[in-house]
Amino acid sequence: MLLDIQSGLGFVLALLAALFAASYQLLVRLGADKGNTNDALIVILIVNSTLLI
């Protein structure tokens, strides 16, 4: 039972990491010509942390 919980948690963390990586790639492409990647990164960090909770 404990192993199931740990593997499920690992799966969720891996999914969140993949989501964060994809959103970071997207904002780098979007903000490369505008130069406002820091603002978008803060927004994505907030969104991902609210998804985690």
CA distance 38 to 24: 11
Per the structure, the count of domains in the chain is 1
pTM of the model: 0.46
Smallest CA-to-CA distance from 26 within 46, 42, 41, 45 is with 41
pLDDT (tens digit per residue) in 4-44: 766 777 788 888 788 888 877 877 777 666 655 566 677 77
CA distance 39 to 37: 6
The backbone torsions φ and ψ at residue 42, rounded to the nearest 5 degrees and listed phi first, read: -65, -45
Cβ–Cβ under 8 Å, residues 20 and 44: yes
Domain holding 10, by residue range, is 2-52
